[in-house]
C-alpha cells in the first residue's frame, strides 16, 4: 500500500498584468520571524516530507514553518503578498502550470548557482524551470510523465495476455489505440471512461507551446491535423461509442475505476495512487480492482503536473531557502526512500534507474509490476519548453471546443469552425496574446 502521494492540482492561470508592479514589492518582503524559513506547499504530503526528512531546528539553527494551502488559494495569497511585499514565504511549491508566470515575471530568485545539481535531473524539468532570459528559477522534486493504466483482467479477456510488454504493442500509436478501442468495444468493454481522458497525453506531448517568443498563439498540429489528432480521436471515440461517455473527474468516472466496464485511464505518475488506487474499491465494497492494474507507456511521451520549488525574490533567508530547494531535489536518502515507499517518480535519473533494476521492488496495486522502467521510458522524450503561464486556461478552452466538435455542437461542425470559436474565446481572455 502506498503512502499519500503528492497530487496534481489544476492551476488557475492568471495574467501577469494582474500582479502590477510587484518586483519592487517582492524585494521588500517581510515576515514576523526573521529566523524562520517559511515554506508554502499545496499538499499535506509535502509537509510530511519536511517533517520526516529535513534536518531538525536544532541541526539547522532556525525554524522551518510549513503551511499547506490549496493551489488556487495559494496563488491568490502569493499574488496578494507580491503586491504588498508582506506575508510572503521564502520557498513556495508550485505546480507546473502555475510557476511560469512568476518565473518570467521577475518574482522569483535566480537559482543559477544551483545548476551544478541539475546534471542528474530529467531534462524537461530543467528546461521548464529555465526562464526566457536563460536563468534557472526552480528545481523540480518529482517527475510526472503520463502513462496508460489498464485492468489486467480485461486485457487477458480481450488480448489474451496482461503482460505490459505485449499490451504496449496494442497501444504504441494512436492508430493502434483506436484499433484496440474498437476491439474492446466489440467485446463489451470501453477503452476509457471519458473520451477526453486522452487529452492530457496530447497537451503534455506537443512539440510547440501555446505561445511563442513573439507572443503569438500557436496551435500544435497534433491537436488539429489528421485522422489521429486530438480532435479527430475525440470525435471517433464519441461517434463510435468507444468510451463510457463520462465527464472527467465525475462520480461515474471515479466509480468506473472499480468497475468491470472500462479498460483504462491516462494518468500521470501521481494519479496512479491519487485517483486509481484510492478508488479501486467501490463505495459499497462490492467491486474491487486493487491489484488488477498495470501500466504501459502508451502512444505518447507527455507529462501532467509536477512540483517545482521556487525561492521568492527578496527573501532574507536566501541561502537557507536555496539549501531547502536543493535538498528536496538532490538528497539521495529522501529521493530513494520516498520513491520506493510511495511509487513516486523523483527527479534523479540515476536513482530511478536503480529502482527500475531492483528485482525485489514491486507495486501490489499494479499486480506486482515494478513501474519505474515504464516511468523512465515515458519521461525520456518529454518537451519542457512547451510550458507557458497560459496552459491551464488554454488547455481547458481547447478541450471545450474539441468536445463541441466531437459532439457536433452548433458552431463547431468542422475542425476549422471549432478552432475559430476557440480563438474567439481566447481573444476575450487574453489581450497580450496575438491571435490571428
pLDDT digits (tens, 9 = 90+) for 297-324: 999 999 999 999 999 999 999 999 999 9
Q: Say if CB 183 and CB 155 are below 8 A apart.
A: no
Task: Read off the CATH number of the domain in which 259 is found.
Answer: 3.40.190.10
Last residue of a domain, one of 351, 370, 385: 385
Does 158 share its domain with 296? yes
pLDDT digits (tens, 9 = 90+) for 423-435: 999 999 999 999 9
pLDDT value, residue 97: 75
How far does Cα 259 stand from its chain's mean position? Answer: 25
Query: What's the rounded mean pLDDT across residues 168-191?
Result: 99
Does 175 share its domain with 312? no
Convert 115-142 to b/e letters by CB count within 10 Å (16 or more is b). Answer: eebbeebbebbbebbbbeeeebbbbbbb
pLDDT value, residue 15: 41
pLDDT value, residue 103: 87
Does 161 share its domain with 295? yes
d(CA 126, CA 369): 29
pLDDT value, residue 104: 81
- Quick check: is 4 in a domain? no
**Which grid cell is 386?**
512547451
- Quick check: is 277 in a domain? yes
Pick the residue with more confidence: 8 or 120? Answer: 120
Residue 379 confidence class, pLDDT cut points 50, 70, 90: very high
**Residues 6+ away with beta carbon under 8 Å from 399:** 196, 199
Query: What's the rounded mean pLDDT across residues 154-161?
Result: 99
Does 227 share its domain with 317? no
pLDDT value, residue 436: 93
pLDDT value, residue 17: 39
- Quick check: is 8 in a domain? no
d(CA 331, CA 54): 10
pLDDT value, residue 30: 53
**Which grid cell is 4?**
499519500
Residue 196 pLDDT > 70: yes
- If one counts every other C-beta atom within 10 angstroms of the C-beta of residue 388, the result is 19
Query: What's the rounded mean pLDDT across residues 169-174?
Result: 98
Note down the domain range covering 376.
16-143+304-385
Residue 224 pLDDT > 90: yes
Residue 22 pLDDT > 90: no
Residue 28 pLDDT > 90: no
Query: What's the rounded mean pLDDT across residues 32-46?
Result: 90
Number of domains in the chain: 2
Does 154 share its domain with 220? yes
**Residues 6+ away with beta carbon under 8 Å from 107:** 19, 22, 23, 26, 82, 312, 313
Residue 132 confidence class, pLDDT cut points 50, 70, 90: confident
Does 244 share its domain with 308? no
Does 287 share its domain with 401? yes
Does 318 share its domain with 195? no
pLDDT value, residue 31: 58
- Quick check: is 11 in a domain? no
Residue 23 confidence class, pLDDT cut points 50, 70, 90: very low
pLDDT value, residue 32: 58
Does 296 share its domain with 311? no
- Quick check: is 9 in a domain? no
pLDDT digits (tens, 9 = 90+) for 112-129: 999 999 999 999 999 999
Does 78 share its domain with 159? no
- Quick check: is 238 in a domain? yes
Does 139 share its domain with 178? no
pLDDT digits (tens, 9 = 90+) for 258-312: 999 999 999 999 999 999 999 999 999 999 999 999 999 999 999 999 999 999 9
Residue 369 confidence class, pLDDT cut points 50, 70, 90: very high
If you average pLDDT over every residue of the chain, what do you get?
92
Residue 165 pLDDT > 80: yes
Instruction: Lowest mean pLDDT of 6-10, 76-80, 252-256, name the range.
Output: 6-10
pLDDT value, residue 4: 34
- Quick check: is 370 in a domain? yes
- Quick check: is 265 in a domain? yes
pLDDT value, residue 16: 39
Does 33 share its domain with 70? yes
pLDDT digits (tens, 9 = 90+) for 197-211: 999 999 999 999 999
**Residues 6+ away with beta carbon under 8 Å from 268:** 8, 144, 145, 146, 147, 200, 303, 304, 305
Instruction: Give the bridge partners for 95, in sequence order.
Output: 307
Crossing angle (nearest 10°) for helices 415-427 and 230-239: 120
Amino acid at each position: 500500500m502506498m503512502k499519500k502521494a503528492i497530487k496534481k492540482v489544476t492551476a488557475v492561470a492568471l495574467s501577469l498584468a494582474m500582479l502590477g508592479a510587484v518586483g519592487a514589492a517582492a524585494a521588500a518582503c517581510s515576515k514576523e520571524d526573521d529566523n524562520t524559513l517559511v515554506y508554502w506547499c499545496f499538499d499535506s504530503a509535502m509537509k510530511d516530507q519536511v517533517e520526516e526528512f529535513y534536518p531538525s531546528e536544532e541541526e539547522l539553527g532556525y525554524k522551518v514553518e510549513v503551511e499547506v494551502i490549496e493551489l488556487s488559494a495559494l496563488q491568490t495569497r502569493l499574488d496578494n503578498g507580491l503586491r504588498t511585499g508582506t506575508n510572503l514565504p521564502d520557498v513556495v511549491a508550485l505546480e507546473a502550470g502555475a510557476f511560469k508566470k512568476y518565473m518570467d515575471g521577475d518574482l522569483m530568485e535566480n537559482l543559477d548557482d544551483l545548476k551544478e545539481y541539475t546534471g542528474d535531473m530529467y531534462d524537461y524539468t530543467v528546461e521548464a524551470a529555465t526562464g526566457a532570459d536563460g536563468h534557472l528559477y526552480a528545481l523540480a522534486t518529482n517527475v510526472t510523465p503520463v502513462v496508460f493504466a489498464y485492468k489486467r483482467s480485461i486485457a487477458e479477456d480481450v488480448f489474451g495476455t496482461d503482460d505490459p510488454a505485449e499490451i504496449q504493442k496494442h497501444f504504441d500509436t494512436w492508430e493502434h489505440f483506436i484499433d484496440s478501442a474498437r476491439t474492446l468495444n466489440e467485446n463489451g468493454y470501453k477503452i476509457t471512461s471519458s473520451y477526453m481522458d486522452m487529452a492530457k497525453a496530447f497537451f503534455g506531448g506537443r512539440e510547440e507551446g501555446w505561445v511563442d517568443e513573439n507572443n503569438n498563439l500557436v496551435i500544435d498540429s497534433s491537436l488539429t491535423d489528421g485522422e489521429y489528432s486530438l480532435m479527430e480521436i475525440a470525435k471517433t471515440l464519441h461517434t463510435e461509442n468507444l468510451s463510457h461517455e463520462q465527464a472527467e473527474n465525475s462520480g461515474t468516472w471515479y466509480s468506473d475505476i472499480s468497475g468491470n466496464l472500462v479498460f483504462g485511464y491516462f494518468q500521470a505518475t501521481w494519479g496512479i495512487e491519487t485517483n486509481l488506487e484510492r478508488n479501486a474499491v467501490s463505495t459499497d465494497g462490492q467491486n474491487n480492482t486493487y491489484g488488477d492494474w498495470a501500466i504501459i507507456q502508451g502512444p505518447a511521451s507527455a507529462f501532467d503536473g509536477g512540483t517545482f520549488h521556487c525561492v521568492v525574490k527578496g527573501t532574507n533567508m536566501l541561502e537557507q531557502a536555496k539549501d531547502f530547494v536543493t535538498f528536496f531535489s538532490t538528497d539521495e536518502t529522501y529521493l530513494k526512500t520516498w520513491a520506493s515507499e510511495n511509487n513516486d517518480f523523483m527527479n534523479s535519473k540515476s536513482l530511478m534507474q536503480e529502482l527500475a533494476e531492483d528485482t525485489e521492488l514491486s507495486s501490489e496495486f499494479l499486480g506486482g509490476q515494478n513501474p519505474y522502467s515504464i516511468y523512465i521510458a515515458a519521461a525520456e522524450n518529454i518537451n519542457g519548453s512547451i510550458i507557458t503561464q497560459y496552459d491551464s486556461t488554454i488547455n481547458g478552452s481547447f478541450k471545450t471546443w474539441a468536445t463541441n466538435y466531437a459532439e457536433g455542437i452548433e458552431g463547431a461542425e468542422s475542425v476549422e469552425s471549432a478552432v475559430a470559436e476557440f480563438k474567439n474565446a481566447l481573444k476575450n481572455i487574453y489581450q497580450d496574446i496575438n491571435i490571428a
